[in-house]
């Protein structure tokens, strides 16, 4: 039961992170399904990362590598959640720790939403309309588009991810805890 709840929490965190990551300059979705691989830009990056033989499809070995990469990513998120929210250091999240994690995600989302509204809600209606979202997207691209081509290439997206990661780590570093830090999990 705890594993199921933790899995749901990890999925929620992943979805929130995807939702809070500003949109990228890519072509609109056009696939048959509704998953990330059905978005042409995401599919291209996925194939670029895992299609080692360049045939534009994944072999069994390439699929296995992609599966391992996703597993490693889930494990890393799990470790991060434990490090941040496992206050009794028992290696798992109890109900109170899960509630704290959910509350932290909710607070972070509310803070992000308020910042976006403050910066881009020009008509002050409490939501971002299509034009305001376009302005937010343009500002994001302008911030990280180092080659000036009006879109973000892989290196620019990586720089944006690193900047976001550094910001979040900086926010977390300002929170002081009286609990001793758990030993690193290897």
16-30 residue pLDDT tens: 554 444 333 333 333
* DSSP for residue 167: H
Tell me the pLDDT of the chain averaged across its residues.
77
Separation of alpha carbons 64 and 93, rounded Å? 29
DSSP symbols for 65-130: HHHHHHHHHHHHHHHHHHHHH-TT-SSS--HHHHHHHHHHHHHHHHHHHHHHHHHH-TT-SSS--H
Please state the φ and ψ torsions of residue 113, each to the nearest 5 degrees. Answer: -60, -45
Helix 60-85 vs helix 40-50: crossing angle, to nearest 10: 100
* Digitized pLDDT (tens) for each residue of the chain, 186 residues in all: 555 555 555 555 554 554 444 333 333 333 344 455 556 667 777 788 888 998 988 899 999 999 999 999 999 989 988 999 999 999 999 999 999 999 999 999 999 999 999 999 999 999 999 999 999 999 999 999 999 999 889 899 999 999 988 887 766 544 434 343 343 343
| Rounded Cα–Cα distance for residues 131 and 73 (Å) | 34
Which structure tokens are listed for 67? 């599966």
Which pTM does this prediction carry? 0.53
Separation of alpha carbons 48 and 62, rounded Å? 11
Tens-place pLDDT, residues 43-77: 777 788 888 998 988 899 999 999 999 999 999 98
């Amino acid at each position: 039961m705890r594993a199921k709840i933790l899995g749901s929490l990890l999925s929620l965190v992943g979805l929130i992170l995807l939702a809070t990551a500003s949109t990228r300059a890519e072509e609109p979705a056009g696939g048959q399904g509704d998953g990330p691989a059905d978005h042409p830009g995401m599919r291209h990056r996925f194939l670029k990362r895992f299609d080692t033989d360049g045939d534009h499809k994944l072999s069994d070995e390439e699929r296995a590598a992609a599966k391992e990469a996703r597993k490693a990513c889930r494990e890393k998120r799990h470790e991060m959640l434990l490090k941040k929210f496992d206050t009794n250091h028992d290696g798992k999240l109890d109900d109170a720790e899960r509630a704290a994690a959910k509350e932290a995600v909710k607070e972070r989302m509310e803070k992000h939403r308020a910042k976006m509204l403050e910066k881009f809600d020009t008509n002050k209606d409490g939501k971002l309309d299509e034009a305001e979202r376009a302005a937010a997207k343009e500002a994001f691209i302008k911030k990280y588009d180092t080659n000036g081509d009006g879109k973000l290439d892989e290196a620019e997206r990586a720089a944006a991810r690193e900047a976001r990661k550094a910001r979040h780590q900086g926010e977390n570093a300002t929170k002081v805890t009286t609990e001793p830090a758990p030993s690193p999990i290897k």
